[in-house]
Amino acid sequence: MKDGTCAGMALQTKREEKEAVSDKDEQLFWRNGLLGQSTAKSLLNSSYFYNGKIFGLRGGEHRILSLTNFELGSNYIKFEENLSKTFHGEITDLKYVPKTIKHICHEVARGKT
């Protein structure tokens, strides 16, 4: 192994960076019915996709979601994690603050006073 490394042969240890899904690809998902609310599968795909996109969830974190993780307001969705890859909720994790993300959906029109 050392001889191969010295000769310039090495295993590629770093993976290529993942690319974000472009708006063009997202529109393609909608047109092909992968995202939407027409079937249970498309609704599940949509919630998985947007939870990852908006709240930055990893693959395994989708499995431990519950309704208590979300707070719905008139113009926002607030996500508070309970467990994640780096936050397990144990006594050694007391120094960590769970991730909280507030996504503003749209501006609320204010009435004239």
Q: How many CB atoms lie within 10 A of CB 83?
A: 16
**Range of 94's domain?**
24-104
Position 38 in a domain: yes
Positions of the chain with pLDDT lower than 70, given as ranges = 1-15, 83-94, 108-113
Q: How far apart are CA 55 and CA 1, in angstroms?
A: 43
Q: How far apart are CA 43 and CA 112, in angstroms?
A: 39
Looking at residue 13, its pLDDT comes to: 58
Looking at residue 105, its pLDDT comes to: 83
Model confidence over 99-111: pLDDT tens digits?
A: 788 888 877 666 6
Please give the tally of structural domains in the chain. Answer: 1
Q: How many CB atoms lie within 10 A of CB 51?
A: 17
Position 52 in a domain: yes
Position 53 in a domain: yes
Could you tell me the pTM of the whole model? 0.61
Position 18 in a domain: no
DSSP string of 53-101?
A: HHH---TGGGGG--GGGEEE-SSEEEEE-S--SS---SGGGTTS---EE
CB of 103 closer than 8 Å to CB of 51: no
Position 14 in a domain: no
Position 64 in a domain: yes
Position 113 in a domain: no
Looking at residue 36, its pLDDT comes to: 92
Position 46 in a domain: yes
